[in-house]
Chain A
Amino acid sequence: MILAGPDALPEQIEVITKELGLDKPIISQYFIWISNILMGDFGKSIINGYPVFKLISLKFVATLELAISGLIISLLIAFPLGILSAIKRNGIIEKFTTIFTALGQAIPTFWLGILLVLVFSIKLRWLPPSGRIEFTENPELAFKLIILPAFTLGVYTASVLTRFLKTSVLEILTLDYVLTARAKGLSEWIVIIRHVIKNALIPFVTVLGLQFGAFLGGSVVTESIFDWPGLGRLMLQSIHTRDYPVLQGTILVVVFGFVIVNLIIDLLYSFLDPKIRY
């Protein structure tokens, strides 16, 4: 009805229904879709007729770029804060970390994005408020354009990771092997790096994998705030225009990515902890 318009004749609606295969039972529609997907055919957009797979591959790079930048930001914040706040307890770093983790987990991504635009783009005029260009075109502008979205996306994960890392390091510091390492006369930094951080990494990596889901969800919101032309915005546009083939294809790709990342994380365990073998 939406495609044909409100004044469509019954014959026109019938033609469109047949064309889209909507006259078949739901279950056969589903199997047709699945078998097409398995053959690499994601269908075509019902709005502009563009192949869904091509559309997704065009937008995928932008989302990947944003996700990696967000990840880098969150690791850059989480590593020093998490470790230092656990080692130097009751200091100014720990106080700052406590406030950062509490706020980071409470501030909604969309509000943080808006605040950053308000301060850094509108008031201070340091960074552009929205858009994306290729790094090859203008590296400086591309870098400036990605800072705010990456930070918006990265802060929540950074606060979760910081808190987790801090808790793991605190727990490990009380274990016997740390006492042994210290008793051997190793310097404090070697104890921290070789014995504490390495063991804290295993649960850290699990949380990192789970946070990838938050990245994917967050990217829809972040891309919408910063007009970032990625999968999140494509998904949102397809919801508003009811372009179901595009929506189904995008969700499939994103969820597949989420599952694959978690599989990689599982496999990473055996590398990080030789006791784990599959």
Chain B
Amino acid sequence: MNIKFKLSIILLLIIVLISIFAPVFSNYNPLEIQKGKQFLPPSMIHYFGTDEFGRDVFSRTLYAGRISLLAGLVAVIVSALVGVPLGLISGYYGKIIDTCIMRTMDSLLAFPALLLALSIVAVLGPSSLNAMIAVSIVSIPNFARISRASILTQKEKDYVDAAVSIGASDKRVIFFTILPNCIGPILVQITIAVAFAILVEAALSFLGLGTQPPDASWGAMLFSGRGYLRVAWWYAFFPGLFITLVILTLNIISEEIRDKLDPTTVT
């Protein structure tokens, strides 16, 4: 395990923990409007300064982390729960089932990811929940493709024949015999997908289509903060820094896991 990987895990854990335990680490209510305290620069009292309503940006960034991280996690869990079984069924049965499922996935992939998410939110309406739904739908095809590719190589192996020959049902063979052996690539995809989901949710919120005020997500804070760049650079700076750190650490972690699983990769 290299130092970069260890540092990434520590940094990610710190961000996750201070977001989960936001009330412990922040001295201010993130929604509390303080008159006369608008646009105070970062100081020992307000670590990340204050916003246009005098709200503490540090508290808001921590609380926003809860929404952003939760959005990423929920979106990935939902898309993995839908995408992985679809890919496994598609690869195991093949033929017409494979064609139907994979062509549907291909048609989803024909859209650039952010545009598809935008279109879904356009239909459902802007909100935090709808942004999560959009990100989940956008992430499904990748899970389906990866699990299909894994099951295609696994299903020809002897242990699968053995399971089938002792009379195991298809459901048992797919989900209990083969799935545990496909977990590596799916795990890598999960870390990539969490980073991607956080990024897309932030992009949607930044465009005003995700989390709505007064709630804060990192993207939504950037959306409000960019209007005040001339007077308060800190307002848009810190939420963006948190997004970047989370994506960076997740990317490093996923690369490390991938390298461990496939030592032939040259980087």
Which residues from chain A sit less than 8 Å from chain B, CB to CB? 102-103, 105-111, 114-115, 117-118, 122, 163, 167, 170-171, 213-214, 216-218, 220-221, 224-225, 235-236, 238-240, 244, 247, 251, 254-255, 258-259
Contact = CB atoms under 8 A, between A and B. Distances in A.
B230 to A, nearest CB: 6
A111 B225 CA distance: 11
Task: Give the most central of A114, A225, A254: most B CB within 10 Å.
Answer: A114
B119 interface: yes
Nearest to A173: B266
Which residue among B112, B121, B252 has the maximum number of chain A CB atoms within 10 Å of its CB?
B112
Interface in B211-247: 219, 222, 225-226, 229-230, 233, 236-237, 240-241, 243-245, 247
5 contacts: A103-B244, A114-B229, A220-B114, A255-B115, A259-B110
Contacts of B110: 255, 258-259
Interface residues of B, number: 38
* Chain B contact residues: helix, strand, loop or mixed: helix
B115 A102 contact: no
Contact of B233 (A118, A244, A254): A118
B203 A110 contact: yes
Contact of A220 (B115, B126, B199, B219): B115
B248 A106 contact: yes
A166 to B, nearest CB: 8
B203 A170 contact: no
B112 A167 contact: no
Contact of A239 (B121, B199, B266): B121
Contacts of A244: 122
B244 A107 contact: yes
A102 B266 CA distance: 16
A110 B251 contact: no
A160 B115 CA distance: 20
A244 B129 CA distance: 21
Nearest to B241: A111
Interface in B84-125: 110-115, 118-119, 121-122
Nearest to B121: A239
Contacts of A216: 112, 114-115
A78 B240 CA distance: 25
